[in-house]
Amino acid sequence: MKKILVINGPNLNMLGIREPEIYGTATYRELEASIRTWAKEMDFEVQVIQSNHEGDIIDAIQAAYRRIDGIIINPAGYTHTSVSIADAIKAVGIPTVEVHISDTDKREDFRKVSYIRPVCIATIKGKGFLGYKEALQMFRASS
């Protein structure tokens, strides 16, 4: 059974409250439940974490080394600022898919820059929660 780590970055715990016109009204708990359901349907073992702290995200990526088959990451605001998260992904060499609930290319100019994208096998954006399902399907297709 493939093991997938899903990492959600800062403020995603505020889904349902934060900017519902952009992110919708579904909560983080609903997102996590959806991810777990999809992973089970695809016969994946999944670990889902959320952190508002860059170091915790880096620690999770490093801890995945030789234990996890794929990473799905929504780095949220760290997408546009964190060379360190990108370096951690590059260091562990685990295939990683970057996911964004909103279409970052249709938002503020600074959101169009991703330090994470170059170290990922794919980027999915603007598909809401279904972007996570699509990322899981990518790992299933590579089985």
Clarify whether 65 is annotated catalytic.
no
CATH of domain 2-141: 3.40.50.9100
Q: What share of the chain is helix, strand, coil (3-state, %, to 5)?
A: 50, 20, 35
Clarify whether 115 is annotated catalytic.
no
Number of Cβ atoms within 10 Å of the Cβ of 48: 18
pTM score of the predicted model: 0.95
Which pLDDT score is estimated for 109? 85
- Indicate the pLDDT class of residue 143, thresholds 50, 70 and 90: low
- Indicate the pLDDT class of residue 106, thresholds 50, 70 and 90: confident
Contact 103, 124 (CB under 8 A): no
Query: Which member of 23, 28, 78, 132 is catalytic?
Result: 23
Number of Cβ atoms within 10 Å of the Cβ of 75: 26
- Could you state, in order of their start, the residue ranges of all structural domains in the chain? 2-141
- Indicate the pLDDT class of residue 142, thresholds 50, 70 and 90: confident
The half-sphere exposure of 2 on its side-chain side, counting CA atoms within 13 A, is 22
Query: Which member of 65, 78, 80, 100 is catalytic?
Result: 100
